A = this chain, B = another copy of it.
Amino acid sequence: MKKLINSPQTVLADALRGIKAAHPELRVDLENRVVFRGERPRQGKVGVVSGGGSGHEPLHAGYVGRGMLDAACAGEVFTSPTPDQILAAARGVDAGAGVLFVVKNYTGDVLNFELAAELAADEGIEVRTVVVADDVAVEDSTWTAGRRGVGTSVVVEKIAGGAAEEGEELDAVTALAGRVAGSGRSMGVALTSGTVPAAERPTFDLPEDRMELGVGIHGEPGRHRVPLASAHRIARMLVEPILRDQGAPGPAIVMLSGLGATPLIELYLMYGEVAPLLAAGGIDARRILVGDYVTSLDMAGCALTVVMADDELLRLWDAPVVTSGLRWGA
């Protein structure tokens, strides 16, 4: 296992120290493992909190900042954050207008955010939750009942964060987040497995001539293990299941994310193959992201996310955002 780490046991703690050192504009609670915006919560603003297992950076800490998340809870690598962590986040961001939890659909995450919501309610903090379940690859998976939550989370966090920043109330922010979550579909492919530091070996074995189509972001099995194919053919395998599921054509926000070990030149090359297929399928890619947005440690591969977006969602997408992962307009 070749990694830039000190010890498999201290990866998260050490990485949080690094985030703290690199981002003086954030407040990193090393004890609770929560990354907060540096400034105090603005009275009357809805707080937006997400989190999950680590190893998917920049998700979620990279999306903390003005116009997006108020806090992100970092679980151990590929492990749900605890209810205590999430409660600490809710307490830290509550400014009297309630808190929205954005949760990826993994059983542990859903349970722990639910528990934290109950604990927060006991303290008088009003919490709503939106679960993202956008991965069209499989219906149930290793750690998930129903579809897994992946790339659409980024768009949910951006649009909910934008609406909260503009002063929308909790119900409105929740409704928007729910609408985005319902409009997103994703599909990924792995060329190699990532390696969880504590496991010290790759999560799965994949022969040199095979790829895992529909892989999960923790290395969960996908639809098929298929022969390695050209980017042109892989693009078809990603776009077709999304189109089949997306329903109507229309304007969309499109994200092609690397899974951690795939260089940008390959991602752009893939996007060159994906773009005409989306257009032929009636998807009008109005906003486009190509890069590492939701990763899976050092897995090689990519995942395509298509979120249908009307004018209201596009306007909130374009609203100013100042995070290390997404930044524009301010």
Residue of B nearest to A54 (CB): B265
Please, what's the 1-or-0 string for A295-313, where 1 marks a CB less than 8 Å from any CB in chain B? 1011011100000000000
Q: List 26 A-B contacts (CB under 8 A).
A: A2-B228, A3-B191, A4-B231, A4-B234, A4-B302, A5-B230, A5-B269, A6-B230, A6-B232, A6-B269, A14-B273, A15-B265, A15-B268, A16-B268, A18-B268, A21-B276, A22-B271, A22-B275, A58-B264, A77-B265, A260-B263, A261-B300, A263-B292, A322-B328, A327-B328, A329-B330
User: Residue among A191, A234, A256, A268 with the most chain B CB within 10 A?
Assistant: A268
CA distance A232 to B14 in the complex (A): 10
CA distance A231 to B18 in the complex (A): 12
Q: Report chain B residues within 8 Å CB of A297.
A: 263, 265
**Does A298 contact B300, Cβ atoms closer than 8 Å?**
yes
A100 at the interface (CB under 8 A from B): no
CA distance A291 to B22 in the complex (A): 11
The size bracket of the interface on A is 35 or more
A270 at the interface (CB under 8 A from B): yes
Give chain B nearest CB distance to A205 CB in angstroms.
13
**Number of identical protomers:** 2
CA distance A230 to B9 in the complex (A): 13
Q: Report chain B residues within 8 Å CB of A191.
A: 2-4
Q: Report chain B residues within 8 Å CB of A328.
A: 322, 327
A47 at the interface (CB under 8 A from B): no
CA distance A270 to B18 in the complex (A): 7
CA distance A270 to B268 in the complex (A): 27
**Does A4 contact B57, Cβ atoms closer than 8 Å?**
no
